[in-house]
Amino acid sequence: MRGISAYSIKLPIIEKEDDLGKIIAEELIAERFDLADDDILVIAHTIVSKSEGRIRRLKEITPSDKAFKIAEKRKEDPRFIQAVLDETKEVLIDYPIFLVEAKSGNICINAGVDRSNVEEGYLILLPKDPDASAEKIRRRIFEMTKKRVGVIISDTNGRPFRIGQVGFSIGIYGIEPIRDWKRKKDIFGRRLEITEEAISDELASMSNILMGEGDWCSPVVVIRGLSVLSDDREGIKNIYRDEATDYIRRAIKNFYSH
């Protein structure tokens, strides 16, 4: 038999310029939770964004003509639309959903811009460089605990063809994001040809159950029992499909351009 364990960690309210790695390490110590080598920390992006000051005040945003046009179509606040556009590399669909490629390379709704878990009249953005955020936290935790861990920055996202949101990874450090099963054998001895397992997304999704949504406020999960750490500096961009092989993206763009 094999198994893994996962533990959620509550934190105080995070503010701009807080040393997030230090706060996490201190909370673990306060809870008498001893980190171990090969543990994986999954951290909700909201607290990372807050510590990095990735917050915008709605009344300080001036919408462009493009924002007004999209907002009218969507019956949305044009300032919110402008905040999304400011974080966007390419708009794929602006109605009935606002699907974009964020500047980080992630394809998601509203470029990850959100009104939840932030004060009224403000918006929370994704970290500018989630991989760098994960690296910074990992290094700080190592300084304080001397434990070699992996770090995943997570968000939630909807899925095509299914109802409901799941957690997924938007930034990683010290962990292999993909486990390649190609050339290995299945239970009948046949060679696997195309199986690639999205390890970082699976762990983010599992952690989201413990984190919860709304005011549950357990934005950090420690996972133990897996050997998926890596010294390779593989970033999250390695799991994004390039446009040439992203057939769904191409189909969406082709459909909405006609």
Give 61-70 pLDDT, tens digit per residue: 999 999 999 9
Cα separation, 150 vs 48, in Å, equals: 16
Domain boundaries, the chain: 1-53+127-244, 55-125
The enclosing H or E element of 32 equals: none
3-state secondary structure of 9: strand
Whether the Cβ atoms of residue 198 and residue 10 lie closer than 8 Å to each other: no
Q: Which residue has the tokens 């993206």?
A: 249
pLDDT > 90? residue 8: yes
Least confident of 21-35, 56-70, 178-192, 222-236: 178-192
Axis-axis angle for helices 78-86, 65-74 (nearest 10): 120
Q: How many angstroms separate the Cα of 54 from the Cα of each of 112, 183, 190, 246?
A: 12, 43, 49, 29
The CATH H-level superfamily of 55-125 is CofE-like domain (3.90.1660.10)
What is the overall mean pLDDT for the chain?
91
Evaluate whether 4 touches 225 at the Cβ level (below 8 Å). yes
Determine the residue type at 84: V
Q: Which distant-in-sequence residues (6+ apart) come within 8 Å of 67 by Cβ?
A: 78, 79, 81, 82, 85
In this prediction the pTM is: 0.92
Note the pLDDT tens digit of each residue in 50-94.
999 999 999 999 999 999 999 999 999 999 999 999 999 999 999
Written out in words, the top-level CATH class of the domain with range 1-53+127-244 is alpha beta
At residue 183 the predicted structure's pLDDT band, cuts being 50, 70 and 90, is low
pLDDT of residue 135 exceeding 80: yes
